[in-house]
Structure 1
């Protein structure tokens, strides 16, 4: 009663569907009756109604008449089994293939369509799972048995796929990298003592670039032989919308990935290639291997870092990119280091190429970054780390904090000439203080007098004002100018913000003890104030923020080691400057990525934020979208002050 089906040759594994075309076989009633009589006449047969036509690869098995149920099993084309259980017109099926085909039930005109993968369509409805559970009109007495059959079918499906993939999906090392001559050269170039940075060399035979640095970095093109690799790991990506170090899409750990190509690549990286690396580098690696995938699109970036984490010994990157050019960005940049072991200038940049592979030892000086992707392209890579026994690391370099200065004196008329008189009004100060003590932050718009603001902006924009980049790159990257080289008006502004009068005003606006005349907020504070006199101070810096500017969070930041009041005065910010361009200041809790506060730059606006030791801040990387603005709008200025009680 089941219409016969014939399998077509199976297509490549990465095709969307494999279709099986059913053929309708018309039989006459007389022929059917004749066949039934012949089957009944057979002796010692445990199965009735068995038919094995030689020209068709379909077998139908039926149970004994004594059984209350009939079980029919079909073998279709490529040998995949389909077992069909019939009970009072109800059928449950086991499918051992994800291929598309249709089955027409004899007593019902409804057609069921089974699709490759987990999506199943039935009569316009969509259900998930590899086994489609039909909607029953009557109560199913064998629901538990059917469920067991479905579970068995699931396991068999996976088993068949694994066997098929093991034969077809492969990842192997390019044979030229197996040559003993090249392996010996690679091994010799990798020194435990390290090499000073020299001009990188290129082996003409292999095309591999050996970068002799501490540690050495290898960049090798056409590294693997792929067959039916790679199916898209980007289907598993998740977006990190807000991270201080990077912004791109990445997968979860792929160690449990079940897709055929990723499984083949993972098995190769975890097994034969791990031994290959140990032979070249001499580094003993254990069985722990991290494997993930990263997808960078336009404006995405991974800023300078060293990859150090307990147990990481070798980092690797496999590039799976479309045709790429240096102007597209997204290069792997490696850094020189200075006498303190901190990143200095960029030593070498490698732009990604399909099937190229880079690996290097993770060390205190393995500073690198992925530069911003400038083109509307997708930079896909598979990357991770090989692990081994932890090694001793030298103490981390701790930089000195920015110099601080005590309050200075200015004349009353000078104070009145700089500050907007609104903020001198006692009632306004009281309202601001109430809000600040509730939120620990406030934005004071039009903080400077209008004429002083315009004059200061013109002075800070002067072309003869010298700017230089402040580093190191693993902590910050923006332009600064020295106060003693700035114009007179700029120096007057810094003096105004450092004056005793401003310290007192800020005390009245915030409730902090930034001046000895500041009244305490409570009796407890009054008792403490009698024991210790405040010694307020401030650090100041003039910044220019433009494309590529950023600051990073780091644990040993001396600025964040104590309670402080951040005051950021912004100048020359375009009205078209949005949060999407970057350049805003973000506050997060230590050891967490959740954002507590975002401070957007606005012209002539003073943003004040009071933070504790567990609150960190950073400035978001200014991306290439800023170049869509007019040239004079592509940067802004900030007078950055940090006040301490």
Structure 2
């Protein structure tokens, strides 16, 4: 027989008094928090300090650390270790008996009294928040992060984070809650996240940050943990009875939408004349011999590349350019990331433009100015190589020779990018899907001059790798469902290409494939620079002998090096 509501409320009130800081629920304290919440920017949020009795919260923390296990999870959006889900803690279970203080905390967070208090602080009408509540323990170990998003899924209404970090947590250890503003690319576009955060909340022990979840507005991220200690927190959502209005503005919906895919039907940046679609000749070899390492122009080498590409639809060519065309990459190992707001503008100039929005990407793109003439500068040298090699009809014929694909008809997109350590990335989204298959050619430059640097890039701990994943098929309503997680057992990952200096990656990408450059961690030996090209390639004839089952198997990147 269940307890009557009056007895349950009395029991909860007793626990509230036992674990919450004195006078936290008092009217004057609530008013103070309300004022902080209403006046904050870039959108309403607040952080309550000294939330619980410190001794109680320390007991909660120790129970979680000693009695629970963590599971590693990673995607294009995050890298985190997750522990217990409080929603699955059943009273009276063996685990709950080992976590008595965690169960007390759960009862407080799930109580009607606490929900009413949260409604009051956020200015929500009474009974807005229903009994559905999410709460899980997240451990952001060094290098872990969560990129920009707005938290809008289903009926989520209020997002909250209770920090269980060490009491002497310092700002240079990172792990802050980053809050992003809104921007419009043009008067008719949807709300986008600003490329850099406008405010931050530090993960202070025994504090709780919270805000109302709003589509296309509550943009936030968890800054990478840059110190040596893990950032422990309890994070979750209070729910409403109905989803919020304007769900089409939510970041998840924007990532699912193919509104950017209209570029697939637009004119190419550059079109190759039909008269240029010739066989690769000795004259072409002579032209490219000024730039490419000689071995890549030998007939037997081109045959080997062709065979590898024909089997795998991808190939990586190490030491591709001659040394004089390779920008000098200096290792920054041992340098610490700054934690001031100026760090987000590192390297931004009249030529290196900051690209967003943050819920889709952040990196610097090189745009030459009329005064750009010095080829010794990294961006200028890469621009020169892009024009003389990658945009030339000669290189289009070389691509046909080494891939066996039809002659490229044009260049759909070309960019020179810089991904800075502790800052930059791209996220997989349906706006990047192409209407027709393309050939990606990406020439990467990083510092990997010693074994430690090579290992950091190769094993992916520092990020910076380019990952190709399979997009989910359309559902019955015709919409798409974005893949929001990948791991070693996830068969949606098709190919992962580690960052490697002066390495050209050729990948044949079909319309059902998304890609992203994983967030470059602060431990990376250098920025990741690249020349990223998309070539339009006509569909060739189907190979009747091709084994469809082999195509579906997950591929690992494999280099051809000389």
The equivalent residue for 1:363 is 214
Among candidates 382, 385, 395, match of residue 234 of structure 2: 382
Matches within 5 A, 1:6-85: none
What whole-Å deviation, never above 9, does each CA across 1:98-129 have from its counterpart, x for those lacking one?
xxxxxxxxxxxxxxxxxxxxxxxxxxxxxxxx
Unmatched segments (≥5 aa) in structure 1:
1-163, 190-200, 202-208, 516-534
Matches within 5 A, 1:171-570: 172-184=19-31, 211-213=39-41, 215-225=43-53, 228=56, 229-230=59-60, 231-234=62-65, 235-240=67-72, 242-257=74-89, 258=96, 259-271=99-111, 272-280=113-121, 281-282=123-124, 284-322=128-166, 323-339=168-184, 340-344=190-194, 345-364=196-215, 365-388=217-240, 389-393=242-246, 395-396=248-249, 398-399=259-260, 401=263, 404-407=268-271, 412=284, 413-448=286-321, 450=322, 453-457=323-327, 466-484=351-369, 486-487=372-373, 489-495=381-387, 496-515=389-408, 535-559=409-433, 562-570=436-444
Higher RCO (CA-CA < 8 Å; seq separation 6+): 2
Describe the shift of the 1:255–1:458 C-alpha distance in structure 2 as closer, same or farther (beyond 3 A). closer
State whether residues 15 and 108 of structure 2, in contact with CA within 8 Å, keep that contact through their aligned partners in structure 1: no
d(CA) in 2 for partners of 1:260, 1:401 = 56
The equivalent residue for 1:154 is none
Describe the shift of the 1:328–1:539 C-alpha distance in structure 2 as closer, same or farther (beyond 3 A). same
The equivalent residue for 1:641 is 533
Q: Which range is displaced more, 393-402 or 587-596?
A: 393-402
CA RMSD of aligned residues (A): 3.4
State whether residues 210 and 219 of structure 1, in contact with CA within 8 Å, keep that contact through their aligned partners in structure 2: no
State whether residues 168 and 227 of structure 1, in contact with CA within 8 Å, keep that contact through their aligned partners in structure 2: no
Describe the shift of the 1:548–1:607 C-alpha distance in structure 2 as closer, same or farther (beyond 3 A). same
State whether residues 214 and 244 of structure 2, in contact with CA within 8 Å, keep that contact through their aligned partners in structure 1: no
User: Normalized against structure 1, the TM-score is what?
Assistant: 0.61
Describe the shift of the 1:570–1:614 C-alpha distance in structure 2 as closer, same or farther (beyond 3 A). same
Larger Rg computed on CA atoms = 1
Displacement of 1:233 in angstroms is 2.0
The equivalent residue for 1:140 is none
Equivalenced residue count is 435
The equivalent residue for 1:581 is 462
Matches within 5 A, 1:148-167: none
Displacement of 1:252 in angstroms is 4.2
Describe the shift of the 1:405–1:481 C-alpha distance in structure 2 as closer, same or farther (beyond 3 A). same
Q: Kindly indicate whether residue 514 of structure 2 is the aligned counterpart of residue 616 of structure 1.
A: yes
d(CA) in 1 for partners of 2:25, 2:362 = 42
Give the secondary-structure state (helix, strand or coil) at the position aligned to 1:419.
Answer: coil
Describe the shift of the 1:241–1:253 C-alpha distance in structure 2 as closer, same or farther (beyond 3 A). closer
State whether residues 549 and 622 of structure 1, in contact with CA within 8 Å, keep that contact through their aligned partners in structure 2: yes
d(CA) in 2 for partners of 1:320, 1:481 = 41
d(CA) in 2 for partners of 1:571, 1:321 = 37
State whether residues 477 and 551 of structure 1, in contact with CA within 8 Å, keep that contact through their aligned partners in structure 2: yes
Displacement of 1:407 in angstroms is 4.2
Displacement of 1:318 in angstroms is 0.6
State whether residues 161 and 209 of structure 2, in contact with CA within 8 Å, keep that contact through their aligned partners in structure 1: yes
Q: Which range is displaced more, 419-428 or 388-397?
A: 419-428
Give the secondary-structure state (helix, strand or coil) at the position aligned to 1:224.
Answer: coil
Unmatched segments (≥5 aa) in structure 2:
1-10, 90-95, 185-189, 277-282, 332-346, 376-380, 472-482, 538-562
What whole-Å deviation, never above 9, does each CA across 1:339-370 have from its counterpart, x for those lacking one?
24222132211111111011111112111111
What whole-Å deviation, never above 9, does each CA across 1:217-275 have from its counterpart, x for those lacking one?
01110123466441432443423253221112112422132121121111111112112
d(CA) in 2 for partners of 1:569, 1:251 = 39
Displacement of 1:560 in angstroms is 5.2
Displacement of 1:546 in angstroms is 2.8
d(CA) in 1 for partners of 2:431, 2:200 = 28
Give the secondary-structure state (helix, strand or coil) at the position aligned to 2:430.
Answer: coil
d(CA) in 1 for partners of 2:312, 2:177 = 41
State whether residues 326 and 502 of structure 2, in contact with CA within 8 Å, keep that contact through their aligned partners in structure 1: no
d(CA) in 2 for partners of 1:227, 1:542 = 53
Describe the shift of the 1:544–1:168 C-alpha distance in structure 2 as closer, same or farther (beyond 3 A). closer
State whether residues 178 and 199 of structure 2, in contact with CA within 8 Å, keep that contact through their aligned partners in structure 1: yes
State whether residues 359 and 427 of structure 2, in contact with CA within 8 Å, keep that contact through their aligned partners in structure 1: no
State whether residues 295 and 381 of structure 1, in contact with CA within 8 Å, keep that contact through their aligned partners in structure 2: yes
d(CA) in 1 for partners of 2:318, 2:20 = 62
Displacement of 1:465 in angstroms is 8.5
Give the secondary-structure state (helix, strand or coil) at the position aligned to 2:130.
Answer: coil
Displacement of 1:371 in angstroms is 0.9
d(CA) in 1 for partners of 2:18, 2:268 = 59
d(CA) in 1 for partners of 2:494, 2:533 = 20
